[in-house]
Structures are given as C-alpha cells and as structure tokens.
Amino acid sequence: MHKLRLPVKVELPSALTRMVLDPKVTSLHSDYGSFDRPLGGGEGHERDVEAAVDGSSSGMAQSSDIYQRQPLLPGAPTKSKDKWSGVASGSDYYEDDEEEKIDGLGRHPGITNGPGSGVIKIDIPAPLREEPRFPKEKWKTFIAFLFMVVNFILTTASLAMVHERVPDRNIYGPLPDIVLDNITAQDWTLNVSEVLIMIMSNSAMVFIIFHKHRFIVIRRIFLLMGLLYMMRSITMYVTVLPVASKTYFCSPKANNTSPLLVTKRVLQLISGFGLSINGKHTYCGDYIYSGHTVVLVLSYLIIKEYSPRRCQPIHWLGGLTVFVGIIMVLVAHGHYTVDVLIAYYLTTRLWYIYHTLANNPYLKQNGPNNFLARLWWYPIFKYFEKNVGGTVPRQYNWPLPWPRRFLAKHPNRDS
C-alpha cells in the first residue's frame, strides 16, 4: 500500500518566497556565471524549494544544468538570451546590442543620465587635425638660404681685409709643416682639386633635388654651410698665417681697407664662387681653416646620408674623390696641413651633432640634462627643426610637374 502524500501548504514570508522562486536570487552569483535550473516546474524544482526551506544546499548542488548570465545595467531591458556568455559581470568591455541605440546626447535608452544615477558622462573632444611629420616650410628654407649668403659675404669680406695683413713673402717664408716640407709644390693640382669639388657638389645637389623632402634637406645644408662660413670668417681674421705656397699668385696690397675697396673685392670673389680656377681668387690669407676641405667633406656627407643605401659604390667613390681632392690641395701647397685637419674635424662634428639633435625629439627640448642645448647655435637649430617629426626617410620623387608619368607615387626606397 502506498501512502498518499498530500501536499502541505507552507506559509513562507514574502521575502523568502521571492528568494526561493526568483532564479536571479537563488542563483549563486559570481563574476563568472551562475549555477541554477531553468525556469519551470517539476519534481526537481520542488526538491530545490524544499531544500531552500530546510536550509539544506544538497538539492541545489545537484543541479545539472549550468548556464552563465550576462549582468544587466540598472534599468536596462532584460533579454532572454545573452550576447556574450563568457564575459564577466565585472568586465569593463562590452558590446552594444543592435536594438540599443544612443541618442544625440550620448545617453542609452532606459538609463537615467543625471545626478545620482550612477552613470558618469565623459565629454570627449573632437580629434585634432594631424599635422604632417615633415612639413616643407619653404619660407624657412628661404631664411636659411639668406643665412648662408650673409655668412658667405662675411667670409669674403674677412678675406678682403686679411689680404692686407698677410706677412710679406719676401721677409716671412711658409711655416714649418710636416707634409708641405716633404712635397714639392705643383700648382696644377689645385685646379684638379677644384674640379673634384665641382663634381662632388653637383652630385650632392642631384641627390637633394630628387629627394622627396628636399626642402628640409636643403634647409639643413644652407644652415650648416652658413655656420661653417661664419666660423671660418672669424678664425682666418684673428690669426693671419704666412702664405704657404711660394708660387701662388697674390694680388698686390692696396694698403687700404676702405669700404669701397672691400666691396669690390667681395664682388670679385663672389663672381668666381671662391674658386681660383677661374682667376677670380687672387687674394691670400684664407688659411684657417680650409674651405676646399669643407666643401669636399660636406658634399660626401650629404651623398652618404641622403642617398639610397644600395648606392654603396657611389659612397665609396665619393669618399675616394674627397681623399684625392684633399691630397691635391696639400700637394699644391694651397693650405697647411693643420687647416685641412681643423676643417675636417669641424665639418664632421657639426654634421653629426646637428643630425643627432634633429633625429631625437627629446634633444629638441631644452632640459637640464640636455647639455647639447648649451651650444651657441642651438636656438637657431631649434627654430628650423622644431616641426620636423623624426628622421627624414630616404624617399625620392620627380621634382617637376612634367612629364606626368614620372609623378606616380613610389614606396620608400631606402634599400
């Protein structure tokens, strides 16, 4: 005989009833999901209810169905199916449902956006227009060109005045020099050196013209040449050395340094670009330091820095040309050996320091640990380079608006 089991009506408090019957309350909440049975009747569900009443957890532990539930925002409409079932309830990343829309004020529907609602509104400003990393700034290039021209004129004016102070060749002979004393002077080698100067300078100009960021490159060249001319005008004026060559022609002295005479000599030197091969450079005394060496070394540095890496044969050929050109200057007794050494040192140090500053953004800031900012020409550098956003890449393009078939964009050609 089976005993009839009559249902016993148990009076539960309303709060406990909601706890037992509401699956959201009875589930063991965690940040990773919930253990619970789905909604519905049945004997298993009744055992869970009885276990909850008796305080026993064995019935709940026997639940076989495991599911995870996405936490809902306060006031948000509930959904029967979660979109991301594996996202923790405490996660800061979520994806809006397709049905949820955001109004023009940045508020979600169903969420109170105001004081005391627990929602924080963050105003995000509109993105700023991104500036180009390598601006042309043609007007700065023009200013750098004027800077170089002014210092070149200053150098020629210094030579025009130094010529009157050169020691008399009949009284003072050349200074002792370890190289010049052991080499017989050959006047024709000075012309060879100046021909090599023209070849190297024109080759460097070709690479600059076809460089994509040609205005930045040529601006740097103008600035560096202007600094070298400025320092040379000072060093040749403060210390005047005897003429190194016994055969080089020097114009007679006028024993006068009037502004008109200096202006005439400056115009004569400028018309010959400072070279003696065209017969315009007939003034003596411009020794410390060698202008021939400056142009040769600077041309080589330009080609090596701003030409493609695959142009290694050109780099080697350029280095050999510079070496031969300097040797030709010494063979002609056009300069003392110390002039060549000082010119090489100043040109290379100035080049390396300038490009180190230009390629490192932290060195463009005048900080307490940036000792390079104490250079006297650092403010000039900072003015010209403050908008250049990094190392200038080795990229090239056609500089003219015609023919159009050469105007197609090409990728980076560093190699």
Active site residues: 292, 335, 339
Give the other-Cβ count within 10 Å of 226's Cβ.
Answer: 22
Task: Give the helix/strand (H/E) hosting 73.
Answer: none
172 preceded by cis ω (within 30°)?
no
State how far the Cα of 19 lies from the Cα of 306, in Å rounded to an integer.
77
Longest dimension (CA), the chain: 149
Give the other-Cβ count within 10 Å of 164's Cβ.
Answer: 16
Task: Give the helix/strand (H/E) hosting 66.
Answer: strand 66-67
Beta-ladder partners of 34:
67
Residue 206 to residues 168, 199, 252, 290, Cα–Cα distance (Å)? 43, 11, 39, 24
State how far the Cα of 358 lies from the Cα of 30, in Å rounded to an integer.
56
- Within 13 Å and on the Cβ side, how many CA atoms surround 407? 5
Alpha helices in 27-177, H assignment, sequence order: 43-54, 58-61, 138-162
CA-based nearest residue to 251, from 284, 277, 286, 279: 284
State how far the Cα of 36 lies from the Cα of 355, in Å rounded to an integer.
69
Give the other-Cβ count within 10 Å of 375's Cβ.
Answer: 14
Structure tokens at 129: 């227009």
Torsions phi, psi of 391, nearest 5?
Answer: -70, 130
Residue 364 DSSP symbol = G
How far is residue 180 CA from its own chain's centroid?
45
Structure tokens at 25: 């309350």
